[in-house]
Structure 1
Amino acid sequence: MAKVVVVTDSTADIPAELVEELNITVIPLNVIFAEDEVYQDGVTLTSKEFYEKITKEDRIPSTSQPTPYQFEELYREILTEEDTTIISIHLSSKMSGTYQAAMIAKQSFDQAEQLHVIDSKRASYAIGIIVVEIAKMAQEGKSTAECLARLESLLNDTTVYFLVDTLEFLQKNGRIGKASAMLGSLLKIKPILSLTKEGEVYPFEKVRGQKKALSRIIETLKDQYGQYLVHIGVSHAVNEDLAKEILTRMSEEFNVASEVITDIGAVIGAHVGPGTVALSVTKAE
């Protein structure tokens, strides 16, 4: 039986200890402050360093995906080991060229049946929560077919909501207009964002006040997952107190199989800004 190796990218925001424990391979995206100031997300720039940097310098960097050549090198190194299959799960293709770069790299290999490149159609720990489950299966010695079948169900059963603290970053990244951002800030509107089935960001709802926004998210999730055993992940951009509060409330109201708190890394953080919290939920088996 082929050994399954799970690959993802840094936008999955998986805690370092889980990456190590589950032997997950992570390829970093890039964070670009200037032509001569480029960092690898989570490698040469930690999330803590990133948020400190944007606070002090008051500038929002751009981001870029790994190159097809970087993916090709990584895949080739993994596939040198006999009887190995790669399942490579990445940031939504609607947000980044990462998935496309991985697909271009795949074309360089004859052994297509050994290399599965997946568009998660998600971001942050909504990718991570899926990757972790597949990596656990790989570690247990499950077959490629079993892992891919579970992956399909996870892709169908995973939901994420982002609670954004400030509209500034969405405005500067072109997600909303300047007038909407100013009005939202004045009215203390907290936009709840989610992702479409195609992996595009959309405004789920606009709520006045953080408590109301959180209650609305939990109410919506109860309708969807209230009768199931679930895995929960809360990722945050320097907002650990709110992340813990969310996890406590979820633990009280849901049948929880596992829970994780993690940092939103620099790439996703560049688009949503500090203070953001994302709640990811998926069905456990």
Structure 2
Amino acid sequence: MKPIIITDSNCDLNGDYLTDNKIAVIPIRFYLKGDKMPLIPSYNYLIEKDPNDLTEYMTYSEFYDEIRGDGIATTSQISPYDFKRYFNIYASKGYPIIYIGFSSGLSNTLDNAILARQEIMDEDKEADITIIDTKSATSGQGLLVYYAAEMLKGGSTKNEVINWIEENSLKVNVWFTVDDLEQLKRGGRISQTTANLGTLLNVKPVLRIDKFGKLVPTQRVRGRKRALIELFEQLKANIVNSKEQIIFINHGDCIEDAEYLKSLITDKIEVKDVIINYTGPVIGTHTGAGILSVAFLGTAE
């Protein structure tokens, strides 16, 4: 039986792509002002849906409009119970499962997936479930899911897909900038003093995800445009085999900036394609609107 790819909603891939490629997505819930919010449409894609599912949805733009105002957002991990429930939809039918998950350096979600896998394996010795820690998030996690799906479409085996991800996950470069320092302060990422000073001086941080899957600030630049140019400069300096590359850009409701970064790339570097997607609430909760990230295969740290 053909393997099934399962990921979580932090992959931030386009809903149509998920549907067309039969990629199952387990939703990471988010809350505004303490209330559980409706899911973003691509957050709850399952190959086999409950016909009685009455889930309501909100759009990405509606989410970012909320947190641009006074909407304080939080997220919660996927529980072992929910992982087990979703995994069993496919494991019980004999599907080999490849779960491609959110970085263990940013969340304990992956630990819960491992617990669920062990429970299923204890009950069913024939279950075939592989858990992969991407050490990445948003555009980087989505890029690995994309490559895995394309490999399966091309006839690769489960082991070939797993081996490729394990060999290349640390080559995934994820660089990003944020526009809303206040949201970083709310999430405890920076102090109130740093947020106030940064806002006053129009300073924008540039960050990356390191080999441990953690967020690392690399520098601060003056102005939004300079921050976008710095993302391009990091791509130019670190990308390998650019002509064979699919570049992922994810944005927090700032499509013009995403298109500008895309034009910087395509005007100066020959690449196979640049794909733009939204950044969802999992990361957007902690960064605010205006987050922009770029992911590509490059030099490993």
Question: TM-score normalized by structure 1?
Answer: 0.92
* TM-aligned CA deviation for residue 76 of structure 1: 1.2
State the match for 1:254 in structure 2.
269
Say if 2:168 is the partner of 1:154: yes
What are the superposed Cα offsets for residues 70-120 of structure 1, whole Å, 9 maximum, x if unpaired?
1111111112233x3111011111222221111110011224872111111
Instruction: Please list every run of 5 or more consecutive structure 2 residues that lacks an aligned counterpart in the other structure.
Output: 45-56
Map 1:98-117 onto structure 2 (within 5 A).
98-110=109-121, 111=125, 114-117=128-131
* Mapped contact 1:236–1:278 kept (Cα < 8 A): yes
User: Which amino acid in 2 is paired with 1:274?
Assistant: A
1:87 partner amino acid: I
Identity of aligned residues (%): 31
CA distance in 1, matches of 2:127, 2:166: 17
Q: Does 1:198 align with 2:212?
A: yes
Show the counterpart of 2:278.
263
What do residues 213-267 of structure 1 show as CA deviations (whole Å, max 9, x unaligned)? 2222222222211543311011111100010111111112223123211111112
Q: Name the CA distance, whole Å, in 1 between partners of 2:228 and 2:33.
A: 36
Q: Is the 8 A contact 1:46 1:265 kept in 2?
A: no
Aligned partner of 1:243 among 258, 262, 267: 258
AA partner of residue 253 (structure 2): V
Deviations 1:98-156 (A, max 9, x none): 21111110011224872111111111121001101101112333111110121123302
The 3-state SS of whatever aligns with 1:122 is coil
1:273 paired with 2:272, answer no
1:52 corresponds, among 45, 62, 65, to 65
1:92 pairs with 2:103: yes
* Runs of 4+ displaced beyond 6 Å: none
Aligned partners of 1:222, 1:281: CA distance in 2, in Å? Answer: 10
Q: How far does the alpha carbon of each residue in 1:174-233 deviate from its partner, in whole angstroms, 9 at most, with x for none?
A: 111110111111111110111111011111110112222222222222221154331101
Q: Which runs of 5+ in 1 are unaligned?
A: none
Q: Which amino acid in 2 is paired with 1:273?
A: G
* 3-state SS of 2:297 partner: strand
Q: Distance in 2 between matches of 1:177 and 1:62?
A: 18
DSSP 3-state at the match of 1:269: helix
In the comparison of the two structures, how many residue pairs are matched?
A: 280
CA separation in 1, counterparts of 2:264 and 2:96? 39
Q: Cα 1:36–1:59, aligned 2, differ >3 Å: closer, same or farther? A: closer
Matched to 2:248, the amino acid is: G
Residue 35 of structure 1: how far off its partner (Å) = 4.8
